[in-house]
């Protein structure tokens, strides 16, 4: 499951994407073929900030450039929206060799050492702080935004908060719409009181737009969907040497990577799941 998919859904839409990506793919390069590559070929979405875009403004673009510089090779992109067919048409078809962000342990590809840990956040106005306690009776009168079909939707149902929920579209043309960004703007303007949102989206737009917002981490509950994930990079399953090479870049540049993530406002968690202070 890609990072973009986490931000959009771990639901029927996400399962559809997995099913599509498991379809027969084009012939793959032979094991070890990538070790001699003279370029770093990255699979990426052309319009998916804060992760990536065609102007190389995303944090995944910055990390790819960091790796390319250290490896002394140019970075080239295969652009494809992170929707159904992203892995199949890019990585599995041999058009690119590295997915910059995916859930550690993803079944669709071999994943590297994780390079950050983040999760879903409850976002609210700074002048109206919230504890994150979803059993607080005061929440029942508030309008809370949620991307339809994402894991936090389950929490709203569990805590009988769905009656006043404000749904935002799951699947959109990202060239023209940005539901996560719009949700944050609506919280800032007072159109809604709070929102449940994937951390990298929340942190980036709060920082980038200088929004008067704060956030706390949404906690997992027994029997509920996961809300925090270790994020790694992805390569093809038959390329252990390439995976080791990328792992060495992650380990070598861990501090640089963390600095890039911080610069983009990505909320980082420690291994106990607590927010790490910048």
Are residues 49 and 8 both part of a single domain?
yes
Q: State residue 36's pLDDT score.
A: 53
Structural domain includes residue 277: no
DSSP at 4: H
Q: State residue 277's pLDDT score.
A: 87
The structural domain count of the chain equals 2
Which secondary structure element, helix H or strand E, spans residue 151, and what is its range? none
Are residues 97 and 233 both part of a single domain?
yes
Are residues 110 and 124 both part of a single domain?
no
Cα–Cα distances (Å) from 11 to 48, 150, 158, 219, in that order, read 20, 6, 17, 19
Are residues 236 and 207 both part of a single domain?
no
CATH number assigned to the domain comprising residue 39: 3.40.190.10
Structure tokens at 59: 């944090």
Structural domain includes residue 273: no
Structural domain includes residue 270: no
- 12 is in which domain, residue-wise? 3-116+228-263
Beta bridge partners of residue 196, listed in sequence order: 122, 146
Q: State residue 1's pLDDT score.
A: 56
Q: Which tens digits make up the pLDDT trace of 16-72?
A: 333 333 344 444 444 444 445 689 999 999 999 999 999 999 999 999 999 999 999
Q: Say how far apart CA 209 and CA 267 lie, in whole Å.
A: 16
Among 266, 114, 109, residue whose Cα is nearest residue 201:
266
Q: What is the pLDDT along the chain (278 residues), one digit of tens a residue?
A: 556 556 554 433 333 333 333 344 444 444 444 445 689 999 999 999 999 999 999 999 999 999 999 999 999 999 999 888 999 999 999 999 999 999 999 999 999 999 999 999 999 999 999 988 999 999 999 999 999 999 999 999 999 999 999 999 987 887 788 999 999 999 999 999 999 999 999 999 999 999 999 999 999 999 999 999 999 999 999 999 999 999 999 999 999 999 999 999 999 999 999 999 87
Structural domain includes residue 272: no
Q: What is the dihedral of CA 112, 113, 116, 117, to 10 degrees?
A: 100
Q: State residue 6's pLDDT score.
A: 64
Structure tokens at 8: 């959009």
Structural domain includes residue 268: no
Are residues 75 and 166 both part of a single domain?
no
């Amino acid at each position: 499951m890609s990072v973009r998919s986490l931000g959009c859904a771990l639901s029927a839409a996400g399962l559809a994407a997995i099913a599509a990506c498991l379809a027969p793919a084009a012939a793959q390069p032979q094991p070890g073929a990538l070790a001699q590559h003279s370029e770093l070929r990255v699979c990426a979405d052309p319009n998916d900030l804060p992760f990536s875009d065609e102007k190389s403004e995303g944090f995944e673009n910055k990390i790819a450039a960091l790796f390319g510089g250290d490896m002394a090779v140019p970075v080239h992109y295969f652009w494809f929206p992170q929707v159904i067919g992203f892995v199949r048409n890019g990585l599995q078809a041999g058009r690119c060799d590295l997915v910059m962000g995916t859930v550690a342990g993803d079944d669709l590809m071999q994943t590297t050492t994780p390079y950050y840990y983040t999760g879903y956040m409850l976002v609210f106005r700074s002048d109206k702080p919230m504890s994150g306690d979803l059993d607080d009776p005061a929440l029942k009168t508030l309008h809370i935004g949620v991307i339809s079909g994402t894991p936090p939707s389950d929490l709203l149902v569990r805590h009988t908060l769905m009656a006043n929920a404000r749904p935002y579209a799951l699947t959109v043309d990202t060239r023209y719409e940005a539901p996560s960004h719009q949700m944050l703007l609506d919280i800032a303007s007072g159109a809604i009181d709070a929102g449940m949102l994937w951390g990298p989206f929340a942190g980036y737009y709060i920082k980038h737009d200088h929004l008067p917002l704060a956030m706390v981490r949404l906690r997992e509950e027994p029997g509920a969907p996961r809300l925090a994930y270790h994020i790694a990079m992805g390569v093809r399953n038959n390329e252990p040497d390439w995976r080791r090479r990328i792992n060495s870049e992650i380990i070598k540049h861990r501090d640089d990577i963390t600095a890039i993530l911080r610069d983009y406002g990505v909320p980082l968690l420690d291994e106990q799941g607590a927010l790490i202070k910048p």
